[in-house]
Structure 1
């Protein structure tokens, strides 16, 4: 080997590759991710559903599971055994926001990014926007229910004139 040749290190162990998690491997996270994917489809219909992605770290250690885009890209911390719908929604939000470089989900009334908060024991999308200065922030919908919302009421919009029946 010449002086300019790069040094190469060979490991006797081959690290397994990251992989998509099969449906049913983590049923509670599957259920939570299905709710989050309803919100993703309602707000970013051009995006494919999110998935769970397992990443091996060290031999003998359990895989770390992340919420990932359909192409396997993720951002943030792995899920832990105690994580529930709120944690899956937060992980999904972090992945979408950081990998797509956009706030998600947006409140359709205020065009502001929302965050997950517990409301009456249910994880919900919370918006800091208000109708007027001093008004409180509001809950837009429970996680998984953004698809059930109609268009927001806009009181200042002009109504269309109805044609007389004739």
Structure 2
């Protein structure tokens, strides 16, 4: 991923590239669900409503351990709107620090990411997007989407797994 800064920062710090490249353990993929994402599934303390998804959205959670931390990936899919997002979060107590959104929505742009630069452990927990720390890649543009939307329930987890480099043990994604 071209947009990632080199990992291996100062002691106690962790960059997004460190998380992505790290060995993953105890990968668990939950089933697809519809409706509201319960706060316990992807906790965001500063959001009263949690992660809001409307009609037509389906979602699932992937959890794993890496770098002596626990992570969650919220995969959201709306086939009618042709919108896909995989949101990587670092568990911090009863909260989540959102590290990266990997998205395709044909209403604008092609595949793109919103991600935390630098030490991810210092980003604001409990929000879907830390607006002070999150950057976009590629840079925002008004270019219409030229990518055919080929995301399905059958390949949505595999797309997230390729981006965040995890693999479910003992089964198909």
Verify same fold: TM over 0.5: no
Q: Which of 1 and 2 has higher RCO (CA within 8 Å, sep 6+)?
A: 2
> Which is richer in strand?
2
> Which is richer in helix?
1
TM bucket, shorter chain: under 0.3
Larger CA Rg, structure 1 vs 2: 1
Alignment TM-score, normalising by the size of structure 2? 0.27
Alignment TM-score, normalising by the size of structure 1? 0.28
